[in-house]
Structure 1
Amino acid sequence: MAQSKSTGFFISTPGFCSDCGSILPLLEETGNVECYACKKVWGPEAFGDMEMSYVIHFNKKNVYGSSKEKDDKEEEAEGPIVERKCPQCQNNKMSYATLQLRSADEGQTVFYTCTKCKFKETENS
């Protein structure tokens, strides 16, 4: 657990200005940070022993490829594909599209289309 600091008016935890109590922005390249509220400049000691790290996850190449590339047996889909059993041919993949057909305080209408036999059905969500 991070230790509290008391160098100003407030007893605060690392990452907060002890003069005004505001949250501090991230450290700048200079190693200092300026409080947004009171404009006091703090050094890295304002963050105590806090450790900060960032992880950026990127999508794999062709993650949004068409359904034709994913499965050559399927014809061109009319939208994103979900696992849903077609009541007509029992295929387990259907594409869908949504529209707001009813009033704003009611759910949307989902239109499903079988990727194999093109059977269509709707669902009011």
Structure 2
Amino acid sequence: MNFCDECGSMMKADDSKWVCDGCGHEELRDETAEAAMTTTQGQEGNTVVDMSDVDESQVGPTVEQKCPECDETRTVRYEMKQIRSADESETRFFTCTECGYKWREDDH
């Protein structure tokens, strides 16, 4: 991937040159520089991870939390993920180790 020196837009490869979609600026391609670039080519597929042989204690951190399904304070596994914009807090995902119920919490 290459970025335009004129306007900063992403350029596209067109035979022996890079062409900017934004302003039309063109640059010659450099094979040596392109060989050092990291690509996503060949990384399109998702792989499934088999967790069936993993001990429950190795799946993630736990905390004492009231399970909405059991309606009692239980040990629950949790993980945090950034699923909204970076200026908002992470979403917490919980799984009850007793009944397997899953829920999430967001800061409002």
TM-score by length of structure 2 reads 0.43
More strand by share: 2
TM-score by length of structure 1 reads 0.37
Task: Name which one, 1 or 2, has greater alpha-carbon Rg.
Answer: 1
